Chain A
Amino acid sequence: DAKTTQPPSMDCAEGRAANLPCNHSTISGNEYVYWYRQIHSQGPQYIIHGLKNNETNEMASLIITEDRKSSTLILPHATLRDTAVYYCIVRVARGADGLTFGKGTHLIIQP
């Protein structure tokens, strides 16, 4: 799986958009970008994934650069409940050998 680099922590004001960056410069053509988050003392929660097109669902938007070497997860209107550790993971779609989690970004939403 390709390596990812994320800032260790970020702050965002409640109600504003939270933009979480991820660098994955060694990504391969068949690898997807996945985003998960882990709220304190809970299991990780799937947010969104994408291959090369931008994606949007009810939780977030994923913007992937044209060269696919970086991406940004956007939470459009952050709430206090969005405070969590956010993980960017790059891997092939159908592998059965599990996800490898890095240290992620600790996003703190400020009231």
Chain B
Amino acid sequence: SQTIHQWPATLVQPVGSPLSLECTVEGTSNPNLYWYRQAAGRGLQLLFYSVGIGQISSEVPQNLSASRPQDRQFILSSKKLLLSDSGFYLCAWSVGSRVGGYTFGSGTRLTVV
């Protein structure tokens, strides 16, 4: 069965420090991968998505970047965190040939201090 792993679950980082969040998917090939962010009291915002290795689409300009070095690995990064980067970060996957749902990870709660 397919599973999605996301870590760490919580993270506290100082302003100006770098960030790397990793997401991996098991049990499927060539998934579409997504990074979402949910700021406190706000809705889910799509940040990046990827349909293949090295292919990244950005939905909003910001202090973050994404990379997909392997088929089932998606990484969210920042060189210098801002206070406004605090939030709940979620990774998700879908398979283009499947009519149905997206599967989300358990999320990383990032607090920038």
Contacts and interface: CB of A to CB of B under 8 A. Distances in A.
Interface of A: 32, 34, 36, 38, 41-46, 49, 93-94, 96-104
Interface of B: 32, 34, 36, 43-44, 46, 49, 51, 57, 59, 88, 90, 92, 94, 96-97, 99-107, 109
A46 B99 contact: no
A89 B71 CA distance: 27
Given A41-B88, A45-B104, A49-B101, A101 B96 contact: no
Q: Shortest 7 CB-CB distances between A and B: which pairs?
A: A46-B101, A43-B104, A101-B44, A93-B99, A98-B46, A96-B32, A98-B49
B99 A42 contact: no
5 contacts: A42-B107, A43-B104, A44-B104, A96-B49, A96-B51
A17 B11 CA distance: 39
Contacts of A100: 46
